[in-house]
């Protein structure tokens, strides 16, 4: 991220936290977001990376039909959960194609998780200057912190990197990523965070891109990839339990994204969807992000509300609404 742009975003977020609403009406004073394309609201627009989506048809279902840099036809799940009069704007450091593995993020020219943490430190400094150290400390302590990572580590790195997947088994690579996760949480805790929500891996083998690239024309989800995702989720849940024992006052919730999205894919009609095997944009099978989903992509659907997936990796706004409902319920433990 360009340093000057970063400073503008940080200052804007700090002012927004102080000026929006009354403290008595808020559930949390700020929402701070880290991670990947599932929660990136446009940070990649300012990076020389292929993984960006600041052009149509992304964003087409917003009121003004304008792309915002969100990897969706409209709102993300976090837009739906972290909005409204009861929550104030925080800061978003997420970057599409980022994840727990910094090396993979750097190769994609995304903002690695370690750098996102550095931007958060900068945010804290600016917030203290604007709000005063006492008020800033209160905001930092009571803020809700969200982290979404792991998807890119597997789909855009491990499974397509012949060297990496020969050196490490999926289980071994999961352990490495969970180690990074644990260190990130400890660092964030050391910087004052106490309420942290982290998304699990979704059923990666059910994503249209995974089914196309690794399914070898079989019907349904790729079971071995889903098994890898479930293995990772078990490890990160276990690590979360241990972290809460180690770090006094920490509230750490692992949001289960796997089950609600798997249920959508397996029984789309139950939730009002028609198509769960491919995305709306283009062919819906290989347009993972960026230039492969564009105004000239053939076959883009007219009604994205009928599709579980917008492109071949990311859920549609309608599916994000279902996921948001699950996130809200699971997140009550953080409030």
CATH number at residue 77: 3.40.50
pLDDT for the residue numbered 10: 36
Q: Answer whether residue 299 is part of any domain.
A: no
pLDDT for the residue numbered 214: 92
Catalytic option among 37, 95, 290, 312: 37
Clarify whether 61 is annotated catalytic. Answer: no
What range does the domain containing 82 cover?
A: 3-205+222-259+320-334
Alpha carbons 59 and 81: distance in angstroms, whole number: 18
**Cβ of 145: how many Cβ atoms within 10 Å?**
27
Alpha carbons 196 and 194: distance in angstroms, whole number: 6
Look up residue 61 and give its two tokens: 């279902």
The domain total for the chain is 1
Q: Where do runs of H (alpha helix) occur along the chain?
A: 3-19, 77-81, 102-107, 113-131, 133-142, 151-153, 164-167, 170-190, 208-214, 223-246, 258-266, 317-330
pLDDT for the residue numbered 8: 33
pLDDT for the residue numbered 16: 35
Instruction: Pick out the chain residues at pLDDT < 50.
Output: 1-25, 82-88
Catalytic option among 95, 311, 312, 316: 311
The pTM score is 0.85
Look up residue 164 and give its two tokens: 């990496």
Q: Answer whether residue 296 is part of any domain.
A: no
- Look at residues 195, 216, 94, 197 and name the one whose alpha carbon lies nearest to residue 152: 94
Clarify whether 37 is annotated catalytic. Answer: yes
Clarify whether 65 is annotated catalytic. Answer: no
Catalytic option among 40, 45, 314, 316: 314
Q: Answer whether residue 113 is part of any domain.
A: yes
- Which residues, other chains included, contact 196 with Cβ-Cβ below 8 Å and sequence gap of 6+? 145, 146, 147, 185, 188, 189, 250, 251, 252, 253, 334
Q: Answer whether residue 282 is part of any domain.
A: no
Q: Answer whether residue 139 is part of any domain.
A: yes
pLDDT for the residue numbered 95: 87
Q: Answer whether residue 65 is part of any domain.
A: yes
pLDDT for the residue numbered 83: 46
């Amino acid at each position: 991220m360009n340093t000057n742009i970063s400073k503008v975003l940080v200052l804007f977020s700090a002012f927004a936290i102080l000026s929006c609403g009354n403290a008595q009406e808020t559930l949390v004073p700020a929402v701070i977001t880290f991670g990947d394309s599932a929660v990136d609201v446009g940070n990649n627009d300012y990076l020389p990376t292929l993984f960006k989506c600041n052009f149509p048809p992304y964003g087409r279902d917003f009121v003004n039909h304008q792309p915002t840099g969100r990897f969706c036809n409209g709102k993300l799940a976090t837009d739906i959960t972290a909005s409204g009069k009861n929550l104030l704007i925080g800061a978003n450091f997420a970057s599409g194609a980022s994840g727990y593995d910094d090396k993979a993020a750097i190769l994609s020219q995304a903002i690695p998780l370690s750098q996102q943490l550095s931007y958060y430190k900068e945010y804290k400094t600016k917030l203290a200057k604007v709000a005063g150290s006492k008020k800033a400390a209160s905001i930092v302590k009571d803020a809700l912190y969200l982290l979404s990572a792991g998807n890119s580590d597997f789909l855009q790195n491990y499974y397509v990197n012949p060297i990496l997947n020969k050196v490490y088994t999926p289980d071994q690579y999961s352990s490495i990523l969970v180690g990074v996760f644990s260190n990130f949480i400890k660092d964030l805790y050391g910087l004052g965070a106490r309420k942290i929500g982290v998304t699990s891996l979704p059923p990666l083998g059910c994503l249209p891109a995974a089914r196309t690239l690794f399914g070898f024309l079989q019907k349904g989800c790729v079971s071995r990839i889903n098994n890898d995702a479930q293995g990772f989720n078990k490890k990160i849940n276990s690590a979360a339990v241990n972290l809460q024992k180690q770090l006094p006052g920490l509230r750490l919730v692992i949001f289960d994204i796997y089950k609600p999205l798997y249920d959508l894919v397996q029984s789309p009609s139950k939730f009002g969807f028609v198509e769960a095997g491919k995305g709306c944009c283009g062919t819906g099978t290989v347009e993972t992000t960026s230039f492969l989903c564009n105004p000239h992509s053939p076959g883009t659907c007219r009604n994205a509300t009928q599709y579980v997936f917008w492109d071949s990796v990311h859920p549609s706004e309608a599916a994000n609404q279902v996921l948001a409902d699950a996130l809200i319920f699971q997140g009550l433990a953080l409030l």
